[in-house]
Amino acid sequence: MDSNTDISPELMFTETDIGRRNRFVENVFKIFFFIMTCLMILPLLLIIGYLFYKALPVLSLDFLFTNPKDNMRAGGLWAPFLGTIYLVVVSLLVAAPIGVFSAVYLNEYARENWFTRIVNLAVVNLAGVPSIVHALFGVGAFVLFAGLGESILAASLTLAIMTLPVIIASTTEALKAVPMSFREACWNLGATRWQTIRRIVLPNSISGILTGVILQVSRAAGETAPIMFTGAVFYKAIAEGNVFAYNITDQCMALSLHLYTISTQVPDVTEGIPYGTAIVLVGSVLLVNAAAIVLRVYLRTRKRW
């Protein structure tokens, strides 16, 4: 049989029917999945666009730097905005060292054994505990047992524990990305474990760690349920422009809770204000996230291996 020779070279490289059909089917699926992906992204754009459109009349720098007034029907966001910053900063101060060291332990100290698996499982579960259960924990442990009362401190500690897994996860990933050979080289020079970590591992994974820290900030800024009963307050007048207006044993206002209260409890709010609050909240969270992404991309280009 020399049927091979019957096919002319042109025919050999043109598409058969079955090939054409296959390509068609593939394109159909490709477009189908593409549409599915877009349908997921569309809401994000729509929602931000809608919020922004509705918020436009109230948005200005003043909106950010004046207190809510007229019984929260008008005015700006200074007190809740500063409150959110306090909550985030204090929770970061607690969560960042614990989270980073926790990842260092998991990645550099612990061996693969049952105990490490339990620790890992605990991290996964900590991330999965519902936010309202964290709130209950915050009430039971910090507000009542530790006697902190409802305060910025109690709320921040609750947030810190809640956001810990975010830092642990991205730090672990960053530490894993540092090649083993770096550590071995260092050990061979007689460095101790901690010296290796401090001089080699941490400097080389700082980008991933920072990303985790930034993501923690974005997560902590948006949470409502855990702070509702542990330290956030309906209204509190503070001095405008004074960044030290809160004390960590005080209660504070917070952007997320403020959005909730003005959209469900305060009557006759100026039309744009809830939308403005939402856009400030979403905007700051997304800005922080964007910073994390930029940092990640930038540091990836500077990687030395």
Region 162-181 residues binding another protein, contact defined as CB under 8 A: 164-165, 168
- Of residues 141 through 160, those in contact with another protein by CB under 8 A are 141, 144-145, 147-151, 153
Indicate the residue among 23 and 199 with the shorter CB distance to another protein: 23
Q: Does 227 bind another protein (CB under 8 A)?
A: no
- Residue of 172, 260, 259 lying closest to 208 (CA atoms): 172
How far, in Å, CA of 158 to CA of 169, rounded?
Answer: 19
- Of residues 263 through 292, those in contact with another protein by CB under 8 A are 263-268, 274, 278, 281-282, 285-286, 289
- Residue of 225, 222, 230, 228 lying closest to 248 (CA atoms): 230
Q: Does 55 bind another protein (CB under 8 A)?
A: no
Name the one range near another protein by CB under 8 A: 6-14, 56-64, 174-182, 260-268: 260-268
Q: Could you give phi then psi for residue 111, rounded to 5 degrees? A: -90, 165
How far, in Å, CA of 118 to CA of 276, rounded?
Answer: 44
Segment holding 167, helix H or strand E: helix 152-177
- Of residues 14 through 33, those in contact with another protein by CB under 8 A are 22-23, 25-26, 29-30, 32-33
Angle at 90 between CA 89 and CA 94, to 5 degrees: 115
Q: Does 242 bind another protein (CB under 8 A)?
A: no
Q: Does 133 bind another protein (CB under 8 A)?
A: yes
CB of 187 to another protein, least distance (A): 14
How far, in Å, CA of 148 to CA of 9, rounded?
Answer: 84
CB of 179 to another protein, least distance (A): 21
